[in-house]
Structure 1
């Protein structure tokens, strides 16, 4: 069965979102738990598929051949593809009070706690929830307490504050789908998604599309008729602004081909970078605008970005560096780094299989890694403390290690599977598996999955103790953040990275779009401390391996070259480095 990351297919993403919402609403109604589970399992399955359900239907595929999908769920999947919604969802929404639906939109609340808030406090809106939390009424409820009340208020404030910011798990599918729609029109010569999206920021406020094409008015008309448009803000001869159904604003500009480069510089930003660039131009008697570079009334550059930078005496600067963090001075002095590229990555050091909470077998994950041209993949299923992830006991991990050895012996020419584990770092800093089994592995990836709100001193000490473990190799998603859902935990990151450097182990830049942890800032700090970074997909399905590109982007924003990244090393060199940590 073809599997993939949900952000790659808007149809699959829509199905998963609707099925998850149905499951939440049914759970609030205390419906049959098997029915709830069926929708959740179907959502998870669809999220992991490489082929879109729309494409499957177009080629006449039988959806009931998918695991766990019966005729009823298959019919609903078809309905969502064809109509964009589902009558079942509309019906269940009418059976549940509207304010409960609103409460369920709050990250981390969940259907069971939403039901408690509804029945015990009569909460009917997010504003009422905020007032109840501020008045310390929630901590008095069974199952909550002061800490959970504080976390809920923090999550609520974060949820309300990010009305204009979208993580890449949302922004990327929107940008990809809209790009495909516009390019399929045959009207467009060039299209680039500019702005903070092009610079690789981990969240974006909106999408800025820059386009060239012969029939500008027709391009604008085609854009505003996109099926996902909920509201047209404006539409003119060369530009338009719309709001999509998910609330994201998209601005489109159709520009002349001979000014495309200048417009791309201007609309990519950042604003501080553009200001610094304009000041440099002014010192040379030049003027830079979205229309070109001018000496007096003469336009001397603008068709390409490179021509704009060349006109002011600079080499082209990669979009990821355009934050006014010294990139212009580096360009003037010839010291811009040769940035890492995805093709430099030799393998992935954090991958899950169906042995824990992945969706595919070890063999299927290896086959996808082979398609990506990797030399190696580390199988790092969860340890037993993560019960919801069906974590591996010492006995199951040992059996998996045997299976990996057999696989490698039988698959010459395939990526070498490395024996690993994502072991839970417990509250006291100990690891969730015995030394006997950890010592048999090629690498041990340690991670925190609980107790995120410990005081900074206690959290830091916890991680430092884990790093000191003789079998510890890589610290995974070090700050534990989930973009839009959970803030980074309180930890002295510099002290942790210093300890990692002294211990001779490594830190991870997790490339899951909901994590991106380390961020570009954390990656820069790691580089300053002399710590190699493992860019890892944290794949839970075969196509999740494509997350790697998002991690590479964060590394590029941190000015990383190839030598700054652990998994740019070929297998022999990698194994030598890993042995030093064990």
Structure 2
């Protein structure tokens, strides 16, 4: 399997991490991080660009030196710089950077002062009380590291959905080209669009004799073969991702697809329902006695059990089977339903592109509006706006809108919710905006009651439209903050404001179950990209996937509304 964008980005990020630990030039480190982000979010195959000798300089932030590194990675899977940096530092030390609370400076201190090189060594050092003796740590930090390392050591390795998507697409394309393969599809948690994927489940249906299993185990990417049989094979890719392939007859493809898509709880509920009707359901079909009565398609299986077709994202045994029996399944929201984006950043704060470029990219997607919501001052990393700079941006947006036709830039701000629940910017400037996006970026470790009261107080502010990334989680890196989300949602309903489903793959915040909760409470959810550059609008499908898992329909999503319908909803939150 050829190298993918995500793997190139991983190499570039590792280079940046190792340079950071070595205290290299900050501009050099930033160049590699930006390149990793550009490659990872590119809407086209970078290896394909290399293969046709396209100019990589056309990608944002990629100069000749980085283009050479990327070409080397595509051709070899690595690069000489990375191999040199790995030799200069202990293997695996970059894993420490994934521990919440550890940045390059602290990793350097742990390595130099305690000889810590691995998660296990850090866990032991924290257990023995040695971490708190290092300058800048202390007992509280030591306890947090002890808990974080314990959690990571227990955690099964899982892969981001985007990485799994890219890997599966390449594998399926190769399988579909093998003679005798009628169809190749993905199943498992990938198809259910879970936030992370533990392994890949792939199915092929055959139209005749095929050497598909032999083809599958003979990939040229150093895959390790775990199992090789006539109808099933399992391999572990170089990335560590396990892939299971099964060949099924065409008359059973639908049943097998349901079975291997899961979830396990959904399949158990289907079997129980079948038993109630005197039927049997398994990966081969639906049977009445020895007679197969359905199974060639998924729809036929569900129909044989008296059910409407259930979308894969809903198959978690959270009420979907009863809803299908009663013909009240939701018509799930789709990407095409979105009319705009209510959370994006420009280079006026920490974005990479201009206001005009972001507006043009949004308009090119067929949207009617987009809200510029640059950061306020508090996040030091964001070069945020004070009232004077925000006022200048507001005037600039007004001038832009006077000339634009058929597209509107909404005036907004992502304002920090301070520890006491007040908003960082005064009402005198907030009142000039179309919407105010409130966000918690600091003090995420407050006790549940204090964190909840903090957010509730912010929502009581005269100008408050949308609560951004409500739990502050970073998938696999930072747990959700302790907050009573039900109270927050009920406050939003009372106040008439909204909550965000942030589509950044590292966030996907709200979680799917929280989306269901918002829907039940009658609170509209805004599915936003939180884009910091034009390429990051490509994150929105991940947000849509999460919303679908949360049973959201078009009417449940704030930014599916056209601008004339949206404006009154925003206005009611603004004083």
Question: Same fold per TM (> 0.5)?
Answer: yes
Please give the secondary structure, in 2, of the residue aligned with 1:581. coil
CA gap 1:570/1:76 in 2 versus in 1, 3 angstroms: same
| Aligned pair partner of 2:434 in 437, 442, 450 | 442
Distance 2:393 2:318 in 1: 46
Partner residue in 1 for 2:243: 250
Aligned pairs for 1:509-528 (under 5 A) are 509-528=501-520
CA contact (8 A) 1:468 1:503 kept: yes
- Mean Cα displacement is larger for which, 533-542 or 99-108? 99-108
CA gap 1:395/1:223 in 2 versus in 1, 3 angstroms: farther
Instruction: Point out where structure 2 has 5 or more consecutive residues left out of the alignment.
Output: none
CA gap 1:11/1:292 in 2 versus in 1, 3 angstroms: closer
CA gap 1:108/1:216 in 2 versus in 1, 3 angstroms: farther
Partner residue in 2 for 1:153: 146
Distance 1:121 1:216 in 2: 60
Partner residue in 2 for 1:230: 223
Partner residue in 2 for 1:533: 525
Aligned pairs for 1:283-432 (under 5 A) are 283-413=276-406, 415-432=407-424
| Aligned pair partner of 1:17 in 10, 17, 24 | 10
Distance 1:195 1:204 in 2: 9
CA contact (8 A) 1:217 1:238 kept: no
- Mean Cα displacement is larger for which, 114-123 or 178-187? 178-187
How far the C-alpha of 1:300 sits from its partner, in A, is: 1.1
How far the C-alpha of 1:276 sits from its partner, in A, is: 1.6
- Mean Cα displacement is larger for which, 533-542 or 298-307? 533-542
CA contact (8 A) 1:108 1:485 kept: no
CA contact (8 A) 2:435 2:465 kept: yes
CA contact (8 A) 1:262 1:304 kept: yes
TM-score norm. by structure 2 comes to 0.94
Distance 1:111 1:508 in 2: 31
Distance 2:352 2:177 in 1: 32
CA contact (8 A) 2:179 2:210 kept: no
CA gap 1:343/1:67 in 2 versus in 1, 3 angstroms: closer
Aligned pairs for 1:82-231 (under 5 A) are 82-98=75-91, 100-104=93-97, 106=99, 108-183=101-176, 188-214=181-207, 217-228=210-221, 230-231=223-224
TM-score norm. by structure 1 comes to 0.93
CA contact (8 A) 2:314 2:549 kept: yes
How far the C-alpha of 1:184 sits from its partner, in A, is: 5.3
| Aligned pair partner of 2:259 in 248, 256, 266 | 266
The answer to whether 1:580 aligns with 2:572 is: yes
- Mean Cα displacement is larger for which, 500-509 or 19-28? 19-28
How far the C-alpha of 1:219 sits from its partner, in A, is: 2.1
| Aligned pair partner of 2:559 in 567, 570, 581 | 567
Give the number of equivalent residue pairs.
573
CA contact (8 A) 1:532 1:566 kept: yes
Distance 1:127 1:431 in 2: 41
How far the C-alpha of 1:99 sits from its partner, in A, is: 5.4
The answer to whether 1:76 aligns with 2:65 is: no
CA contact (8 A) 1:346 1:570 kept: yes
How far the C-alpha of 1:76 sits from its partner, in A, is: 1.2
CA gap 1:409/1:292 in 2 versus in 1, 3 angstroms: same
Instruction: Point out where structure 1 has 5 or more consecutive residues left out of the alignment.
Output: 1-8
Distance 2:329 2:56 in 1: 51
Distance 1:308 1:471 in 2: 51
How far the C-alpha of 1:480 sits from its partner, in A, is: 0.4
Please give the secondary structure, in 2, of the residue aligned with 1:60. coil
Please give the secondary structure, in 2, of the residue aligned with 1:37. helix
CA gap 1:466/1:328 in 2 versus in 1, 3 angstroms: same
Deviation string 1:229-269 (CA, Å, 9 cap, x unpaired) is 53111122222111122211111112112211011111111
Please give the secondary structure, in 2, of the residue aligned with 1:523. helix
Distance 2:38 2:323 in 1: 47
CA contact (8 A) 2:4 2:166 kept: no
How far the C-alpha of 1:135 sits from its partner, in A, is: 2.8
Distance 1:558 1:103 in 2: 33
CA gap 1:318/1:51 in 2 versus in 1, 3 angstroms: closer
CA contact (8 A) 2:3 2:77 kept: no
- Mean Cα displacement is larger for which, 300-309 or 240-249? 240-249
How far the C-alpha of 1:108 sits from its partner, in A, is: 4.6
CA contact (8 A) 1:197 1:204 kept: yes
Partner residue in 2 for 1:557: 549
> What RMSD in Å do the two structures reach over aligned CA positions?
2.2
Distance 2:403 2:290 in 1: 70
